[in-house]
Amino acid sequence: MAVKKLLLDDFFEEEQFSLIGIHCTIEDFRLAYLINQVLDLQLKRNKDDVCFTKDNSRFALFDFDEKQQHVTYHLVSNICKVKQEQNQSLNSLFGNENFGSTTHYLLPEYKKVNYLLKIETDITINKEKQILNKLLKIPQVVTAYSIDVDTLKTKNNLIFD
């Protein structure tokens, strides 16, 4: 008797999206405002951040759904600093402090990236280059580049729903 094997990959189509890494040191809301001006979007802060309970990290998330073009944009912070209480008090200039902080990354493979722009659609390479060129025109953005999604080990962290 032949044994048949069904894989879930046969039933679920993988989500198509592009990912752009952005290096800049400004606040998330300011970057969203500047991206809105340059790309003619309406990114708005999502009331729910991207949260991970195992390490208490929260990453700011901005969304815009362009229904006519069937494109969804997500701007998410890649870096989260979490204050943790320590047993020993630390002496500092301003007195004793009982807190230390640890840094968590949404994509640990890209620790130098400050923000990620996820574009949920199957866009062409030319369209992606146009978006990159517009992002690079923002004076506060140091650099921006495409990230190959297929090589990511932590691709599941980019599921925001």
Q: How many DSSP H helices and E strands does the chain contain? A: 2, 10
Task: Locate 155 and state its tokens.
Answer: 């691709």
- The hierarchical CATH code for the domain 16-78+106-152 is 3.30.160
- Is 80 in contact with 59 (CB distance < 8 Å)? yes
pLDDT at 56 over 90: no
- Write down the pLDDT at residue 43: 94
54: Cβ contacts below 8 Å, ≥ 6 apart: none
**What b-and-e string marks burial along 91-102, b requiring 16 or more CB atoms within 10 Å of the CB?**
eeeeeeeeeeee
Mean pLDDT of 10-26: 79
CA nearest 58: which of 23, 20, 107, 106? 106
pLDDT, tens only, 72-113: 999 999 998 887 765 555 555 665 555 678 888 999 999 999
Q: What percent of the chain has pLDDT over 90?
A: 46
Cα 27 to Cα 24: distance, rounded to the nearest angstrom: 9
Residue spans per domain, the chain: 16-78+106-152
- Write down the pLDDT at residue 114: 95
Task: Locate 1 and state its tokens.
Answer: 């008797």
**What b-and-e string marks burial along 13-33, b requiring 16 or more CB atoms within 10 Å of the CB?**
eeeebbbbbbebeeebeebbe
Task: Locate 145 and state its tokens.
Answer: 């580049």
pLDDT, tens only, 126-156: 888 999 999 999 999 999 999 998 888 888 8
- Write down the pLDDT at residue 107: 92
- Write down the pLDDT at residue 36: 95
- Write down the pLDDT at residue 62: 94
- Residue 60: phi and psi, rounded to 5, are -65, 140
- Is 47 in contact with 61 (CB distance < 8 Å)? no
80: Cβ contacts below 8 Å, ≥ 6 apart: 57, 58, 59, 103, 104, 105, 106
pTM of the prediction?
0.80
Of the two residues 2 and 90, the one the predictor is more confident about is: 2
- Write down the pLDDT at residue 143: 95
Q: Out of 18-27, 60-69, 95-104, 144-153, which region has the weakest mean confidence (pLDDT)?
A: 95-104
